[in-house]
C-alpha cells in the first residue's frame, strides 16, 4: 500500500474517532435538564424554568414520581411535597444525600365553589356542605396533600364522618379540578392551588398543628448527568426563586 494511502486511512480513522467523541459528548451538553416535580409546584416552577431555559419538567404526585426515580427513571432533579418520600429516596440511594434542600412550605385549605361562605370544621357543617357529594382529595397513601389532609381530619375527629364521601385522585390539582368543574362540593388542596382558579374559594383553613409540616424538598438524583442540575436547584433557594414562590401563595421554607 502506498504511503499516501496509509496517511489518508489514518486521517480518516482519526476523523471518525473525533466525530464519535463529539456524538457521545453532545447529548450530555445539548439535552434538556429533566426535572420531576410535585404537581402543586407547576405555576412558580414554570416561571423559574422560563428563566433557566432548556428544561423539561414532568409533573405528578410526589409518591408516583418518587417511585419512578427509585426505579431508575432518567431525571436529574426531583422536587417533592413530602419529606417522607424524600427520605425514602435517600434511603434507597436514589438521590444524592448531601444535595437535599428544603425550598418552600404551604398550608392546607378546604375549598368550595366560588362565593361559598366560610365553613366551620364540624361534622354537621361538613355533612351539610357535602349533601351526598364527594370530598375531593389526593390519594391518602401517596399524594402529600392527601396524606396531610387525612392526618388533619383524623386529628380533628372528622375522618370517620367524611370518609364515606372521600373521592381520592392522583394529584392535588386533580382534586382542585373536581371542585372547579362542580363535580365535588368540597376539596382539600394547598392554599397556593386556589390562586389558579377563580371558580373556587377557601371555605376553611386546616390547622397547621393538626398535621405534619408541609415541606417542599429538592435533590439531585444519583444518576443526574446534566451539568446545570445543581445550578437549577440553587435557583429555587435564591432570592428570585423565593419571591416567585411567595407571589404564588407558597410559604417560606421555615413555615407559614
C-alpha cell at 77: 432533579
Cα dihedral value 219, 37, 239, 251, nearest 10? -110
d(CA 32, CA 226): 8
* Structural domain count of the chain: 2
62 and 189 belong to one structural domain: no
118 and 178 belong to one structural domain: yes
SS3 234: helix
145 and 156 belong to one structural domain: yes
Residue 19 lies in a domain: no
Q: Model pTM?
A: 0.82
Per-residue pLDDT of the chain (256 residues; tens, 9 = 90+): 444 234 344 333 433 443 344 344 444 457 899 999 999 999 999 999 999 989 999 999 999 999 999 999 999 999 999 999 999 999 999 999 999 999 999 999 999 999 999 999 999 999 999 998 999 999 999 999 999 999 999 999 999 999 999 999 999 999 999 999 999 999 999 999 999 899 999 999 999 999 999 999 999 999 888 999 999 999 999 999 999 999 999 999 988 8
137 and 196 belong to one structural domain: yes
Residue 19: enclosing H or E segment and its boundaries? helix 3-30
d(CA 18, CA 26): 12
Domain extent for 174: 108-210
- What CATH number did the domain enclosing 204 receive? 3.40.190.10
Amino acid at each position: 500500500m502506498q504511503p499516501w494511502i496509509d496517511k489518508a486511512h489514518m486521517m480518516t480513522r482519526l476523523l471518525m474517532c473525533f466525530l464519535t467523541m463529539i456524538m457521545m459528548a453532545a447529548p450530555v451538553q445539548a439535552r434538556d435538564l429533566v426535572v420531576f416535580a410535585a404537581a402543586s409546584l407547576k405555576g412558580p416552577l414554570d416561571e423559574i424554568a422560563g428563566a433557566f431555559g432548556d428544561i423539561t419538567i414532568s409533573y405528578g404526585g410526589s409518591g408516583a414520581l418518587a417511585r419512578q426515580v427509585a426505579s431508575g427513571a432518567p431525571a436529574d432533579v426531583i422536587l417533592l411535597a413530602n419529606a417522607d418520600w424524600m427520605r425514602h429516596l435517600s434511603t434507597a440511594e436514589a438521590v444524592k444525600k448531601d444535595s437535599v434542600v428544603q425550598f418552600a412550605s404551604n398550608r392546607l385549605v378546604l375549598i368550595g365553589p366560588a362565593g361559598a361562605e366560610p365553613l366551620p370544621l364540624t361534622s354537621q357543617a361538613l355533612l351539610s356542605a357535602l349533601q351526598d357529594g364527594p370530598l375531593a382529595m389526593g390519594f391518602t397513601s401517596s399524594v402529600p396533600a392527601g396524606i396531610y389532609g387525612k392526618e388533619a381530619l383524623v386529628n380533628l375527629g372528622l375522618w370517620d364522618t367524611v370518609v364515606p364521601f372521600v373521592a381520592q385522585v392522583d394529584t392535588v390539582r386533580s382534586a382542585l379540578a373536581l371542585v372547579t368543574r362542580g363535580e365535588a362540593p368540597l376539596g382539600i388542596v394547598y392554599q397556593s392551588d386556589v390562586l389558579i382558579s377563580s371558580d373556587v374559594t377557601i371555605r376553611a383553613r386546616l390547622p397547621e398543628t393538626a398535621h405534619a409540616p408541609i415541606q417542599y424538598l429538592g435533590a439531585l438524583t444519583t444518576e443526574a448527568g446534566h451539568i446545570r442540575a445543581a445550578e437549577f436547584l440553587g435557583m429555587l433557594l435564591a432570592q428570585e426563586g423565593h419571591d416567585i414562590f411567595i407571589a404564588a401563595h407558597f410559604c417560606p421554607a421555615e413555615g407559614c
